[in-house]
Structure 1
């Protein structure tokens, strides 16, 4: 048998990244001494994911994003909320252990999320030799490029800023959340036609992209949604874990895109 503590120790040893004085990573629920029957990796430990982990007899869930609705999360952040209480009760009664694995997975060299997304999109051949997140793709229109992305990742609610006929060859990716300063500086780069990200504030980077387009600049911003812009990285995480943990079963549990489009409903 292997304990939760030993699994986490092996993960951190394998990553070999410098320790962070302040990190969101750690055991969010459960016990370090618990014997692990199986591992489920997931983008988020949603209630549905937890139920599926229990059904698969996996009692350690390794999640990239928070379980209790806050990046710097604690189990006590919503003491009077019925949804949070029910989730905690389910975790307790099913003897689940939840490991928040965000910072160290990004600190890995190369970044685990980036590698998973590149593999899912088949972009390794297009990657710039100097920057892993810059890609020189075969030229196509922005509309064609966005449709291909949506098809590859199963996206129903992608958002795109820019002319549909814009020629796209040079693509920069920023998986997950895109901050104001980072987003603006990336869009302003002369060697970038389109910036692909998960999500951002509409009054910051989206407005900036709209103004660039209105001023006649040939730029595009594509927002995939946070979940689907990083989820392949947690599928890769499951395969990576199997390379050094062989005593127990390990599976990736995907979550669906959280939104749907009314136009798709007949």
Structure 2
């Protein structure tokens, strides 16, 4: 009698709410998460309008694929893809290209054996790859810059009016460069300038920096920090500036390490609106090493 009364009361309550028992016990994520849904959530949460012309596209896989796990990375190298597959992460979100050109064009390399090997590996392991470059930079604040500043511990040194400009307690160029090298664990940083130069104002532009805007960046600071640049353009300009008597310097980190922490932060950001599957940052290996310090 008591059991019947409790069941009836429960049924009445559910009916009054317009719910069934099946709806109440349903798990929050009953339907499998798809690649398309992840991309759509990224578009919704990145905070800027999605561009018509962009490299941010699904490079491999389909929108209908079920996502088992998400890996973020700076560059979808074969080694990164192997690690992602081994961890069961079948959606790779990469900042840089998969197929060796910014636009991921495959026409020039369709007959290349390495391209075919990489493509076949991706297909065999059911990986989907999403190129996430333009809109992660376009986010405000820039997603890559946010991650790099956090990794370096530069938050309190940032200029609120100029996001690329930082002011530090005065130190030598050598000591400042060593600090960056240590924090980012760089093997092959290169520096142009007098090691004893006193530096205080720093401009940082992550990734590739060409002659323009490299010149106006340098004009605002003692030292310009970049990922990479043409040696016969901006490097030569800095050399000539120093020879002319200007107290300037250039620190070249390497493209990959100059943006890597931005994709580490991307994994944290994705977790804010994706809870159905595990999300993990997989670092790309720095490609270079020094003869006096060979890679073990």
Which consecutive aligned stretches of 4+ in structure 1 deviate over 6 angstroms post-superposition?
A: none
**Alignment partners' CA distance in 1, 2:105 and 2:276:** 30
Match of 2:267 among 226, 238, 252: 238
The structure whose residues are more often helix, as a share, is 2
Aligned to 1:254: 283
Q: Max radius of gyration: which structure?
A: 2
Please state how far the C-alpha of 1:77 moved relative to its aligned partner.
3.8
**Alignment partners' CA distance in 2, 1:25 and 1:248:** 22
Unaligned runs of 5+ in 1: none
Q: Provide, for residues 174-211 of structure 1, a one-character-per-residue CA deviation record: whole Å limited to 9, x for no partner.
A: 0000011111121123xx01100000000000000000
Aligned to 2:192: 161
Q: So what's the TM-score if we normalise by structure 2?
A: 0.88
**Alignment partners' CA distance in 2, 1:252 and 1:188:** 36
**Alignment partners' CA distance in 1, 2:230 and 2:292:** 24
Q: So what's the TM-score if we normalise by structure 1?
A: 0.97
**Alignment partners' CA distance in 2, 1:71 and 1:255:** 17
Aligned to 1:182: 213
Match of 1:223 among 252, 264, 269: 252
**Alignment partners' CA distance in 1, 2:130 and 2:289:** 29
**Alignment partners' CA distance in 2, 1:247 and 1:150:** 37
Aligned to 2:240: 211
Q: Is the 8 A contact 2:61 2:128 kept in 1?
A: yes
Q: Is 1:55 the equivalent of 2:55? A: no
**Alignment partners' CA distance in 2, 1:31 and 1:204:** 41
**Alignment partners' CA distance in 2, 1:30 and 1:265:** 37
Total equivalences in the alignment: 264
Aligned to 2:44: 13
**Alignment partners' CA distance in 1, 2:61 and 2:107:** 14
Please state how far the C-alpha of 1:68 moved relative to its aligned partner.
0.1
Unaligned runs of 5+ in 2: 1-31
Q: Is 1:201 the equivalent of 2:241? A: no
The residue matched to 1:174 in structure 2 has which SS?
A: strand
